[in-house]
């Protein structure tokens, strides 16, 4: 087997950002990235593709272009990890030894969990912004729908970018409103959960748009089956009257399926009860295997699963991983920051930014941007600034506005990686 100082599983937002960050701190580190995909996606852009603002093409680049030059790329998937032997086993049978491992494979979208969905995606009015090839279909459906019923679904948590199911809905409604068609289109938000958004401070601004667009909110509605040709969707409903199933017809259906951790995490003894990476929430070091760190959507930490979270996590992992290599205490702390720019209309965004426990963590002072209100400045940030910052800042290891918080050295004895 080949050995590397650091092996990184995944070349998504998290894997690339942390690799770039490590190399910026220590240029001679021998880092390998294990990633099977040929293309790297800027997924936060897909909401704007579905809203007719971005072209799909600008949300993807060849993986070879985003992998830092100094890193070694293995174009294979990680089959499992042997934390005892400190080895990663690749799908093609190769084994990579590591001194430190970073696990960043993202999450798995469980399209198959909804009966009939895979067979009908991309036709019969059934779409999802959660796939690169389908986001353009969302926009074409929005443009062509003149009247009828539009359903937008949200699965049980956790999902990546928890606001994205309703972002798709608001942008669609905004288009129909501007075209004078909204009165002829019945819009429903079928949400498996019980609230519009998990952090209460942002709910009033969102409710304002629910009212403005005349959206029916159907809480406790979990999509279980889609019949594309007959345009019917079946939901398991849980409310005060108990559990039952209901059917709803649709002309357009925007689906967000349930999401789960990659299976190899649990199979490699790296998971928590839910199968997500079992990390210390502050240091992002594995709870049981000190040579292992993790970040991104695969993490079991209680933050919002977003690229914005990754932006703050990457420097924490880089700094703590290097400290552990040097046998020093882990001093960088991640406080759970995540962000969800809620596109409530074309031109305005509610910029939700919060950490562990729903504590608000705005980047800007209130006079620059009030995150609890829909603002033009936040739209400008999302549509004009963030894509550039993603490709040229985060993926290159620049850490503007992402300096880690400090932990206290006296609390770190047990956190230091040994060996």
Binding stretches for ligand FAD (CB under 6 A):
9-15, 34-37, 43-44, 46-47, 77-78, 104-106, 129-130, 160-161, 164, 262, 264, 296-298, 305-308, 310, 339, 341
* Closer Cβ to ligand FAD, 101 or 237, answer by number: 101
3-state helix, strand, coil in the chain (%, to 5): 30, 30, 40
Distance of CA 8 to the CA centre of its chain: 18
Residue tagged active-site, from 307, 340, 344, 417: 340
Q: How far is the CB of 241 from ligand FAD (least distance, A)?
A: 33
* Closer Cβ to ligand FAD, 145 or 307, answer by number: 307
The whole-angstrom separation of Cα 1 and Cα 21 is 26
385, two tokens: 């600034």
Which residues fall within 8 angstroms of residue 405, CB to CB, at 6 or more apart? Answer: 332, 333, 334, 335
Which residue, 309, 286, 266, is CA-closest to 14?
A: 309
The whole-angstrom separation of Cα 315 and Cα 120 is 41
Q: What is the DSSP string of 214-251?
A: TPEEEETEEEEEEETTTTEEEEEEEETTEEEEEEEE-S
Residue tagged active-site, from 31, 161, 310, 331: 161
Strands (E), 75-155: 78-82, 87-90, 95-103, 108-109, 126-127, 148-154
Q: How far is the CB of 409 from ligand FAD (least distance, A)?
A: 30
The whole-angstrom separation of Cα 194 and Cα 30 is 47
Q: How far is the CB of 308 from ligand FAD (least distance, A)?
A: 4
* Closer Cβ to ligand FAD, 107 or 233, answer by number: 107
Residue nearest to ligand FAD (CB): 12
* Closer Cβ to ligand FAD, 90 or 237, answer by number: 90
Q: 161 catalytic, yes or no?
A: yes
Q: How far is the CB of 21 from ligand FAD (least distance, A)?
A: 13
* Closer Cβ to ligand FAD, 234 or 254, answer by number: 254
Q: How far is the CB of 2 from ligand FAD (least distance, A)?
A: 16
3-state secondary structure at position 415: coil
Phi, psi angle pair for 309, to nearest 5°: -65, -45
Phi, psi angle pair for 376, to nearest 5°: -70, -35
* Closer Cβ to ligand FAD, 35 or 345, answer by number: 35
Active centre residues (catalytic): 161, 340
């Amino acid at each position: 087997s080949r050995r590397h100082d650091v092996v990184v599983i995944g070349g998504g937002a998290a894997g690339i950002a942390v690799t770039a960050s490590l190399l910026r701190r220590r240029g001679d580190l021998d880092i390998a990235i294990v990633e099977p995909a040929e293309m790297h996606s800027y997924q936060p852009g897909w909401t704007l593709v579905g809203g007719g603002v971005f072209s799909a093409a600008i949300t993807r680049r060849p993986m070879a272009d985003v992998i830092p030059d100094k890193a070694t790329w293995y174009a294979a998937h990680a089959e499992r990890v042997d934390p005892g032997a400190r080895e990663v086993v690749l799908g093609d049978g190769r084994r990579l030894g590591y001194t430190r491992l970073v696990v960043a494979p993202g999450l798995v979208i469980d399209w198959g969990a909804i009966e009939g969905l895979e067979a009908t995606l991309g036709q019969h009015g059934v779409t999802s912004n959660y796939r690169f090839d389908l986001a353009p279909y969302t926009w074409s459906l929005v443009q062509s729908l003149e009247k009828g019923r539009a359903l937008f679904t949200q699965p049980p948590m956790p999902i990546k970018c928890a606001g994205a199911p309703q972002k798709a809905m608001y942008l669609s409604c905004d288009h129909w409103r501007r075209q004078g068609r909204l009165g002829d289109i019945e819009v429903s938000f079928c949400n498996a959960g019980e609230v519009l958004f998990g952090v209460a401070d942002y709910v009033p601004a969102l409710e304002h748009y629910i009212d403005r667009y005349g959206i029916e909110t159907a809480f406790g509605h979990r999509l279980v089956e889609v019949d594309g040709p007959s345009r019917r969707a079946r939901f398991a409903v849980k409310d005060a009257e108990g559990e039952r199933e209901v059917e709803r017809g649709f002309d357009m259906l925007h689906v967000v399926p349930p999401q789960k951790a990659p299976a190899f995490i649990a199979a490699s003894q790296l998971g928590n009860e839910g199968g997500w990476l079992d990390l210390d929430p502050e240091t992002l070091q594995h709870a049981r295997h000190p040579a292992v760190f993790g970040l991104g959507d695969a993490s079991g930490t209680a933050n919002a699963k977003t690229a914005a979270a990754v932006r703050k996590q990457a420097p924490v992992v880089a700094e703590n991983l290097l400290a552990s290599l040097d046998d020093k205490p882990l001093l960088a702390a991640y406080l759970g920051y995540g962000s969800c720019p809620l596109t409530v209309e074309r031109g305005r965004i509610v910029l939700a930014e919060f950490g562990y426990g729903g504590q608000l963590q705005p980047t800007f002072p209130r006079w620059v941007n009030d995150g609890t209100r829909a603002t033009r400045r936040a739209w400008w940030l999302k549509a004009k600034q963030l894509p550039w910052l993603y490709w040229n800042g985060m993926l290159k290891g620049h850490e503007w506005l992402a300096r880690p918080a400090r932990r206290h050295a006296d609390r770190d004895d047990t956190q230091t990686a040994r060996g």
